[in-house]
Amino acid sequence: MPIVEGGFDIDLPRMVKIRQHFRSDKIDDIPAVINKELDREEIRARIKPGGQIAVAVGSRGIANIFDIVKATVNKLKSMGTHPFIVPAMGSHGGATAEGQLEVLASYNITEETMGCPIRSSMETVYTGVSELGVDTYIDKHAFESDGIVVINRVKVHTDFRGPVESGLTKMLAIGLGKHRGATMIHKLGFHTFAKLIPDMGRTIRSKAPVACGLAIVENGYEQPMIIRAVLPDDFETTDMELLEVSKEAMAKLLFKEIHVLVIDEIGKNISGSGLDPNVTGRFVPAFMAKMDHEPKTHKIVVRDLTEETHGNATGIGMADVTTRRLVDKINYEYTYANVITSTELAGAKIPVTVDNDRQALVVALVTVNGVKPTEAKVVHIRNTLELGEIWISEALLPEAKANPQIEILSEPVPFRFDEEDNLLPYGVD
């Protein structure tokens, strides 16, 4: 147990439940939209009956990913093709074929549920040198198919800024590049990604049988609001257009400064960085960390890992305090494979580790300079994806009441702990 002056039984701030309001329009019938998109004449022309079609599926926690992939596979079957799924997730899953199958299974994407084969391999095919001089690679099964359908979400990236960030182009350059392709670009540094991802994507598109992409944009509540079939030559322009839409719709913490941010869970299904820096304001790459970001977050507490991350704790290095139960769950093989590939080793550094949630909260509060614990601006969230209903301390109430996007849902209540000093739900008898 760490030593804290005055002990751990200190007065804590009281917490208030709020609802943050974001863009909420969504797709109600996912299969109908996918059927309509893949039925477009220019898309059908690239998907030949009888062909073996590779459906590229990644490791990110895309909302309704099971429904999206299932509808895509079913539609491809109805078009007379023979679809199969390939994991398109770079080095995730411990950079092994078996690990990547496990990641897909955590989303209930299996051969049984999808009704088609899943061909998982780390073997790649060399697709040439890009215009900027980078070697490019693509999954061997995808390359040998009669057409590749790339499924990915378009959103702000966690580690760089550019006109093209996360989306269809990035999945071509990194996700389908498997461990070899991901390593090739990451070793050049995140500061190069804005130029290299489009550059590598163009080379891969010119050599691989890419049929189309399905670009997804989510609203502020993790629900798909756009699903668009995209021709290969339009990947870049669509990524750029939908990135701006995603920026406007994305959920965030609507506060300028947070003294302590408590996060219940992190994981690769939540964000490529485990916890999304665009939400926390805390970044790993040095060139990103030097920029001004909101919110300004002084201390971050991370309580646990998601089950779906399979022990991959990438991003834990952005926290200041964590718990013993989280550290005991870390799969170092998976975590290290991820951060070594990314070259940002700080993402795997273990923060100050304590025995329970009370200790974690107190350590964070007493190390915020010049602020009494009871007067601290505290925000408590489940994870960096679910930001609709969250909890804030009383010190943030004036800012919350002045923001028309915020609705106050409760009176102030104290933190509640069980007999082992781990957090219980607020206000429950």
> What's the token pair of residue 120?
């998982």
In a domain, 423, yes or no: no
* Ordered mean pLDDT values, 10 residues apiece, the chain (429 residues): 72 96 96 98 96 92 92 98 96 89 93 98 96 96 98 89 93 94 89 94 97 96 95 97 94 96 94 89 72 86 94 95 97 92 91 96 96 96 94 97 96 95 81
Give CA–CA dist 151/153, Å, rounded: 7
In a domain, 420, yes or no: no
Question: How much is the pLDDT for 293?
Answer: 77
Give CA–CA dist 55/33, Å, rounded: 17
Question: Which H helix or E strand runs over 205?
Answer: helix 193-207
> What's the token pair of residue 327?
């550290």
Residue 56 shares a structural domain with residue 97 = yes
In a domain, 5, yes or no: no
Pick the closest to residue 16 from 421, 369, 399, 297 (CA basis). Answer: 399
Structural domain including 314 reads 15-22+251-408
Pick the closest to residue 341 from 333, 329, 351, 331 (CA basis). Answer: 333
For strand 15-20 and strand 389-393, is the pairing parallel, antiparallel, or unpaired? Answer: antiparallel
Question: How much is the pLDDT for 428?
Answer: 59
Residue 214 shares a structural domain with residue 322 = no
In a domain, 338, yes or no: yes
Residue 392 shares a structural domain with residue 352 = yes
Question: How much is the pLDDT for 1?
Answer: 63
Give CA–CA dist 320/262, Å, rounded: 10
Amino acid at 273: S
Residue 321 shares a structural domain with residue 366 = yes
Dihedral (Cα; 254, 258, 264, 269), 10-degree rounding: 60
In a domain, 265, yes or no: yes
Residue 328, SS3 per DSSP: helix
Q: Is the pTM of this model over 0.85?
A: no
Question: How much is the pLDDT for 282?
Answer: 87
Question: How much is the pLDDT for 291?
Answer: 66
Pick the closest to residue 259 from 355, 156, 124, 399 (CA basis). Answer: 399
Residue 272 shares a structural domain with residue 216 = no
**Of 219, 249, 279, which marks where a domain is finished?**
249
> What's the token pair of residue 252?
């965030």
From residue 67, give the alpha-carbon distance in Å to each of 32, 35, 241, 375. Answer: 11, 12, 24, 45
- Indicate which CATH number applies to the domain containing 104: 3.40.50.11440
Task: Bin 150: left if φ > 0, else alpha if -120 < ψ < 50, else beta.
Answer: beta
Question: How much is the pLDDT for 2?
Answer: 73
Give CA–CA dist 139/121, Å, rounded: 8
Residue 134 shares a structural domain with residue 71 = yes
Residue 190 shares a structural domain with residue 308 = no
Give CA–CA dist 244/164, Å, rounded: 10
In a domain, 4, yes or no: no
DSSP string of 227-292, one letter each residue? EEEE-GGGHHHHHHHHHHHHHHH------SEEEEEEEEEE-TTT-TTSS-HHHHS--SSHHHHTS-
In a domain, 424, yes or no: no
In a domain, 371, yes or no: yes
DSSP string of 71-134, one letter each residue? HHHHHHHHTT-EEEEEE--TTTGGGSHHHHHHHHHHTT--HHHHTS-B-----EEEEEE-TTS-
Q: Angle 235-249/193-207 helices, nearest 10 degrees?
A: 140
Amino acid at 17: K
Residue 244 shares a structural domain with residue 255 = no
**Angle CA(402)–CA(404)–CA(407) in degrees, nearest 5?**
90
From residue 68, give the alpha-carbon distance in Å to each of 25, 341, 386, 425. Answer: 17, 29, 20, 33
Query: Is the CB of residue 18 less than 8 Å from the CB of residue 391?
Result: yes
Question: Which H helix or E strand runs over 184?
Answer: helix 178-186
Give CA–CA dist 148/56, Å, rounded: 7
Q: Angle 65-78/30-38 helices, nearest 10 degrees?
A: 40
Q: Angle 193-207/178-186 helices, nearest 10 degrees?
A: 140
| Chain centre distance of CA 315 | 11
Question: How much is the pLDDT for 7?
Answer: 73
Number of domains forming the structure of the chain: 2
| Through-space distance between the first and last CA atoms of the chain, rounded to whole angstroms | 29
Residue 262 shares a structural domain with residue 275 = yes
Give CA–CA dist 429/302, Å, rounded: 25
**Burial environment of residue 311 by CB neighbours within 10 A (0 to 12, 13 to 18, 19 or more):** middle
Question: How much is the pLDDT for 405?
Answer: 95
Give CA–CA dist 365/360, Å, rounded: 9
